[in-house]
Chains A and B, each alone.
Chain A
Amino acid sequence: MKGMKISREAVQYVAGLARLDLSEEETERFTLQLNTVLSYMNKLNELDTSSVECMSHVIDVFNAFRRDMTEESYSQDVTLLNAPEKENGFFKVPKIIED
């Protein structure tokens, strides 16, 4: 595909970064749809922004300090309420470090 922004392989690669599995059919569809959207985004290149500052926030954001005081927190039970798996008061996950 001429002028293609993102290839099938790149779509698979990005899916890996995002921890998503795509089926053959999804890869096909996403490649097509992402290309349409990314081509549309290309119109930003019409603008010369070489002297324009980036804005990541519309209001000035400052460090929000607070006094270093202990406040009441959630109990272990409450914290684990939504845990998909738990054991002895901990979140349970599959083994991470190989033998």
Chain B
Amino acid sequence: MELHWLTIHQLKQMLREKKVSSLELTQALIHRIGRIDDQIHAYVTVTEEDALQQAKRADEMIAKGEHPSELLGIPLAIKDILCTRGARTTCGSKILADYIPSYDATVIQKLKAEEAVFLGKTNMDEFAMGSSTENSYFGPTQNPWALDRVPGGSSGGSAAAVAAGECIGALGSDTGGSIRQPASFCGIVGLKPTYGRVSRYGLVAFASSLDQVGPLTRDVEDCAILMNAVCGYDPHDSTSVKFKVPDLRKALVRDLTGMKIGIPKEYFIEGIAPDVEKAIESSIELLQKWGARCREISLPHTDYALAAYYIICTAEASSNLARYDGVRYGHRAAGYRGIVDMYRKTRTEGFGPEVKRRIMLGTYALSAGYYEAYYRKAAQVRTLVKQDFDHAFKETDVILTPTSPTPAFRIGEKTEDPLQMYLMDVFTIPVNMAGIPGISVPCGFSRQGLPVGLQFLGRHFDEETIIRAAYTFEQNTDFHLRKPPID
């Protein structure tokens, strides 16, 4: 198989056995990006020179017999929401189009310490606000499985890059499904860690109580490898948690015997695509065949999670995005009269329509006279949503749901109707509201050949169990091995 289709764990072996050098591998990927990214547009910035330097250094270490990590010399892509020192970080926005961070996000520092290779920064919905990567100032990303369809979002560039063979693995961020939904649309694996598991330092803030960084990879083993690299307490993030980080490779166990899997009846709603429902049903049958005990459970407040989420995330966003005022960094409008006019012109020019819409919603929800009715109510409903999961996990080890109600939709199909777009996140949002971990794995294809994903959800800080469930499912199926028709 060509180099660009291999996994982290395969390439790690090949690099150590000197069957390939990191430089050859990196060059192959840069060549591939040059050849196909016109069609996909997964990248906003390709950092070719730095990548080649990093690859050469990795090769020198390998030549000296130094193998400090699993990621040594492995070319990765990074969602353009994570600060990278000296490399432009746009967040998909005009307001940060020329922003060059003077520091690395903690997760980037960690990957640099592992001597990974950084190919570049991937496209995304502006400030991670969207479910299709259509809200990028730099134009949409195309789904490698069908170029007229979206890759999902907001980490659509990272998902498309992994699926199209334009990197070996990638990092994304997930506030309401932004890793898992694009992973399902692109036929790859994506994991949102427990809130607090991974440092948010250097992750450009959207909704701080919901945001988490996580991996997008070709299989579950690669997911565990990347998770091992990025997890852990960070004094720079007061919400990161001082829990011991387990070696998630030890969770790569192909055994489900006795595992209790709950299937929430509220997730099989009207509007779920028949192809998705079918794929999930046959997945449940397979899991039972392999020894899992599946049974129906109830998460009664599911139907309210979405509405509460869009109040909480927009409220937090309106506050977080107040920092974009044209003073210390980012775009500043020309031709203003006075400071307030500078703020207004800068923000009006710098933000796209969806970001403005969410700032407006959040500002409204927090404004005098409406705070009680909206934000306070939503924060109470959030308690109910979390309690649903707490109750469910007393009797079940993992919860299984579809990742998204439909496979990838067409570019432009939902851009005029924000509410329809928001409904795309209905299965992923409750997970962020409750702060629990979730992983999406490929579980089938629609009749049109589009990937379908299923989601395993676990208890707080129990990434091990969902990885074990996902690994067993994957190792007994071959959906993750199919490649999109792009060349």
Contacts and interface: CB of A to CB of B under 8 A. Distances in A.
Given A41-B374, A44-B307, A44-B377, A58 B386 contact: yes
A84 B196 CA distance: 34
Given A74-B102, A83-B329, A94-B342, A40 B419 contact: yes
Interface size grouping (class) on chain B: 35 or more
B283 interface: no
Contacts of A20: 344, 347-348, 351, 356, 359-360
Contact of B329 (A46, A82, A95): A82
A69 B461 CA distance: 32
Q: Helix, strand, loop or mixed for chain B's interface?
A: helix
B238 A64 contact: yes
B45 to A, nearest CB: 16
Between A6, A15, A61, A95, the greatest number of chain B beta carbons within 10 A of the residue's beta carbon is seen for A15
Contact of B380 (A17, A38, A53): A53
A38 B360 CA distance: 12
B340 interface: yes
A57 B327 contact: no
Interface string B342-384: 1111011001010011011101100100000010111111111
B344 A21 contact: yes
Interface size grouping (class) on chain A: 35 or more
A18 interface: yes
B381 A49 contact: yes
A1 interface: no
Contacts of B98: 82
Contacts of A45: 377
Interface string A31-47: 00110111011011111
B304 A47 contact: yes
B310 interface: yes
A56 B330 CA distance: 29
9 contacts: A10-B364, A18-B318, A18-B363, A30-B360, A54-B379, A56-B209, A83-B329, A84-B327, A91-B328
Interface of A: 6, 10-11, 14-15, 17-22, 26, 30, 33-34, 36-38, 40-41, 43-47, 49, 52-59, 61, 64, 66, 74, 78-79, 81-85, 91, 93-96
4 smallest A-B Cβ distances: which pairs? A58-B435, A82-B329, A84-B332, A64-B238
Given A10-B364, A43-B304, A85-B332, 10 more contacts: A20-B360, A36-B418, A37-B310, A40-B307, A54-B376, A54-B382, A59-B460, A66-B235, A82-B99, A95-B338
